[in-house]
Structure 1
């Protein structure tokens, strides 16, 4: 039996919205079971795993198809979570997830779900969620946790503390979520992993330091008894564009730049030198450190900060 025009339109919209991945139930709501089996047998569609089909010949799956397969294979109520959900929401970064994280209602049996998941795809970790309120859900494509919940979970499931901090800082720096929104998620999740570390990172972000290297600088100052910088300072450059200084002690007119990998690029390097000259011309002192030094040579960095602040009039 051929599908009607309305059914064909429904199928096209469904395939478009779900990156070509459907459950058997979804496919047979539009087409007859015999028609679906014929599409699979003819090679136009293929079976991903039990209960899941893809409207394309077998082959490498796109990132979006991987997300859909994980969510649909996990069953009713499942949502994409963690770093994958944050990526689906627009978070940019170089982190790679070793597994796709999926949240399911707490009364579901994760072991049963794992047996249904397909081979030849990234591993899928199924987490049973006791706390998953409407504020933590985002009805997207695919269904996923909201950005704040995604960032908190991703930080908790990250491989290292540094990676956890980077994810939280990047989410705030890219304006994907605010520290207040992440704090509200932590309030709802008293058992969240790395809860204390995430709280501290959010306090530093709220204080004006957004990149992880800047957060490390603030913590270095606290550990070594130095005054804490006031965070990012906004300035206008010669062309009238708004620029941000990484860290600034206004009282002592000391400006510190923490250079990441992008500063090694020739174009960035030249622009940084021009900006540094302008800071000096305006009467500020300027120090520059690499992010590596801030993290791995804190004693040397602290000594130079102390000397610069003392020269500018600071007294412990």
Structure 2
């Protein structure tokens, strides 16, 4: 008679993949894999043991393999980036989780015991990063449907979570990109009124509307530096002119790397549109 664990044995490699292509044996056991199924997967070369208590898929990232040798795994912004969440700039040092808490060359070590949930990762990002860094990661988690507002509010409901709650209150679930999120943050911090995903008849949604006057589009290279993207932008810009609206296009690289320059451009454009009364 087969057991649940016997049935689970053919999915050992899937469980390793679920952890990011490298997994601890104790976590695989907790997920329902049996010791026998792990051994069989190893003998069949579907997984490989890379350190005591750690297994990896054949195509595992060398970084994850290296970390496993130190009984560590990705955490915080390093893990958030691997999950596809919005990270403004990868940290200079890898952020990793290790139960032993000892220093690891080239890494910032978070002392963590047991498996990490997505909410654990988000909590680490709030603690480690700046306010805008945390906003980008948390907002993308909601936008990409990795978690809900309710889950975030529950996670950051402790008395000491004032900073996390402040970040959650800034989240706009309609944001379409990291550049839009970061631009909205800095423009609001500069004291400007900003509306996200503003709808213009015949044009569609504009990334941001500033002071009810200036449309701002944050252009990333992936979409806008293509023939199709250029044609769509040209059409939208022409339609905005016919609607009597000003539009400022700001490269995503400027938004992310030089937000102060972006704010300067926006203020200058606003002065042109609505000059101060004489």
Q: 1:306 to 1:99 in 2, by over 3 A?
A: same
- What is the alpha-carbon root mean square deviation over aligned residues? 4.9
The question of 1:99 aligning with 2:65 is answered no
Note the 1:122-141 alignment, pairs <5 A.
Answer: 125-128=109-112
Distance 1:211 1:9 in 2: 45
The question of 1:295 aligning with 2:241 is answered no
Q: 1:155 to 1:272 in 2, by over 3 A?
A: farther
Q: 1:45 to 1:90 in 2, by over 3 A?
A: closer
Query: Which of the two has higher C-alpha Rg?
Result: 1
Select the residue among 125, 133, 138 that pairs with 1:168. 138
* 1:84-110 CA-partner distances (Å, limit 9, x unpaired): 554576536686564353376xxxx53
Aligned to 1:205, the other structure's residue is in SS state coil
Aligned to 2:121, the other structure's residue is in SS state helix
Aligned to 1:144, the other structure's residue is in SS state coil
Question: For residue 205 of structure 1, what is the aligned residue in structure 2?
Answer: 171
Distance 2:35 2:87 in 1: 39
Question: For residue 134 of structure 1, what is the aligned residue in structure 2?
Answer: none
Question: For residue 187 of structure 2, what is the aligned residue in structure 1?
Answer: 217
Instruction: Tell me the number of residue pairs that the alignment of Structure 1 and Structure 2 aligns.
Output: 255
Unaligned runs of 5+ in 1: 130-141
Moved more, 254-263 or 14-23: 14-23
Select the residue among 15, 18, 29 that pairs with 1:17. 15
Q: 1:218 to 1:258 in 2, by over 3 A?
A: farther
Aligned to 1:214, the other structure's residue is in SS state helix
Question: For residue 272 of structure 1, what is the aligned residue in structure 2?
Answer: 233
Aligned to 1:11, the other structure's residue is in SS state helix
Question: For residue 139 of structure 1, what is the aligned residue in structure 2?
Answer: none
Distance 1:183 1:247 in 2: 26
Do the aligned residues in 1 keep the contact of 2:74 with 2:96 (CA within 8 Å)? yes
Distance 2:139 2:46 in 1: 44
Distance 2:151 2:47 in 1: 42
Do the aligned residues in 2 keep the contact of 1:152 with 1:182 (CA within 8 Å)? no
Question: For residue 133 of structure 1, what is the aligned residue in structure 2?
Answer: none
Select the residue among 193, 196, 205 that pairs with 1:228. 193
Do the aligned residues in 2 keep the contact of 1:247 with 1:255 (CA within 8 Å)? yes
Unaligned runs of 5+ in 2: none
Question: For residue 146 of structure 1, what is the aligned residue in structure 2?
Answer: 118
Q: 1:146 to 1:308 in 2, by over 3 A?
A: same
TM-score where L is the length of structure 2: 0.63
Aligned to 1:277, the other structure's residue is in SS state helix
